[in-house]
Amino acid sequence: MKMGVWFNVSLMFLCIFFITGSLSKLERLKHPVTKSDGSLSILVVGDWGRKGQFNQSRVAHQMGIVGEQLDIDFVVSVGDNFYDDGLKGETDPSFEASFSHIYTHPSLQKQWYAVLGNHDYRGNVEAQLSHVLTQKDWRWFCRRSFILSSGMVEFFFVDTNPFVEKYFTEPKDHTYDWRNVLPRDRYISNLLHDLDRAIKKSRATWKFVVGHHGIKTAGEHGVTQELVDQLLPILKEHKVDLYINGHDHCLQHIGTKGETQFLTSGGGSKAWRGTVLPWDPKELKLYYDGQGFMSLHITRSKVNFIYYDVSGNVLHQSSLSKRSHLF
Ligand SMILES: *[C@@H]1O[C@H](CO)[C@@H](O)[C@H](O)[C@H]1NC(C)=O
């Protein structure tokens, strides 16, 4: 009898331990691998939603052509999905005008995985996260932060907006939709904690982190110091292969052999700002001020990334390899 009670109690603790032990606040998704060699091809675009203007439609057209050539599995959006002020609500026609009616090529009829940018936070964030948009266009999937596994790759999508101090201290410039983010300190510390744990536990061959704001960038916004201080140490500690972002309206590759590579794909529409900040030329492999996008081709031993301009010309390409690392 006593033995039985003891057994039940320990079983209960064991269950609680396993349930809480496996609890992570970061939503996890799997994207199935469909190619027989297990490889994965994706496109990355950022800073795009302008109802086709500022060459958004031309970029979309080329994405369609490249998407077909590479037989892409899905598309990643690095944020600033809808200008200037995100979506007003679930019925905002900008969703169709800037997304559904623009990325119409058959090869782009794939799942899109999106994070939010600062301009998205100036509108109704909950609308972009809503399943109502997914009902209108099945491709749409947007979350603040989440983990996507696909074969040998794990993508860690991070909401970088709450890290940026000035959005909180200079609110006169714009209003931001911080519902479900405040209190800010707790949001950030929970996110960093969950992310650190998830990347540490990951057994994926390749680990990519995706966010809107740049960590290393020569673009006009400059480095996001809050991310350098708080996110970069996690990328370094767990040897994350790529950090991919938008925010600066350019195409950029910054990296040192054997370390995390920093890729910016923020050329989805308005570009040509004419501002480039100084950066060590040994690290700066590409800086292109104009419109375009990026592709990634991932195999077990190699990641190849290619940058394209508005006419589909290849501006730059580079690769990482698991044995010798970069180039
Ligand atoms: C569109 O792209 C072309 C080619 O890069 C460029 O000359 C033109 O200025 C771009 N238009 C806008 C509005 O950025």
54 in ligand 1 pocket by Cβ < 6 Å? yes
> Which residue range is the domain that position 301 belongs to?
3-321
Is residue 164 domain-resident? Answer: yes
**23 CA → ligand 1 middle, Å:** 48
Is 221 labeled as catalytic in the residue annotation? yes
List the catalytic residue out of 105, 221, 297, 316: 221
Is residue 285 domain-resident? Answer: yes
Percentage with pLDDT > 90 across the chain:
89
When pLDDT is averaged across residues 250-264 and rounded to a whole number, the result is 97
The pick from 47, 53, 55, 251 for probing ligand 1's pocket by mutation, whose C-beta has the most ligand atoms within 8 angstroms, reads 55
Q: Residue 326: is its pLDDT beyond 50? A: no
Is residue 297 domain-resident? Answer: yes
Is residue 120 domain-resident? Answer: yes
**For 145-192, what is each residue's pLDDT tens digit?**
999 999 999 999 999 999 999 999 986 779 999 999 999 999 999 999
Kindly state the helix (H) or strand (E) to which residue 4 belongs, with its residue range: helix 2-21
When pLDDT is averaged across residues 46-74 and rounded to a whole number, the result is 98
What's the domain count of the chain? 1
Q: Residue 10: is its pLDDT beyond 70? A: no
Is residue 129 domain-resident? Answer: yes
Q: How wide is the angle at C-alpha 179 spanned by C-alphas 173 and 184, nearest 5°?
A: 80
Is residue 141 domain-resident? Answer: yes
**For 196-250, what is each residue's pLDDT tens digit?**
999 999 999 999 999 999 999 999 999 999 999 999 999 999 999 999 999 999 9
Could you give the CA distance from residue 267 to residue 247 in angstroms, rounded to a whole number? 9
- Identify the CATH number of the domain in which residue 115 sits: 3.60.21.10
Is residue 327 domain-resident? Answer: no
Phi, psi of 8, deg, nearest 5: -65, -40
**271 CA → ligand 1 middle, Å:** 8
| pLDDT at residue 325 in the model | 46
Q: What is the average pLDDT value for the chain, to the nearest integer? A: 93
Q: Would the pTM count as exceeding 0.95?
A: no
Is residue 66 domain-resident? Answer: yes
Q: Name the nearest CA neighbour of 264 among 206, 300, 315, 313.
A: 315
Which residue's CA lies nearest to atom 9 of ligand 1? Answer: 272
**264 CA → ligand 1 middle, Å:** 19
55 in ligand 1 pocket by Cβ < 6 Å? yes
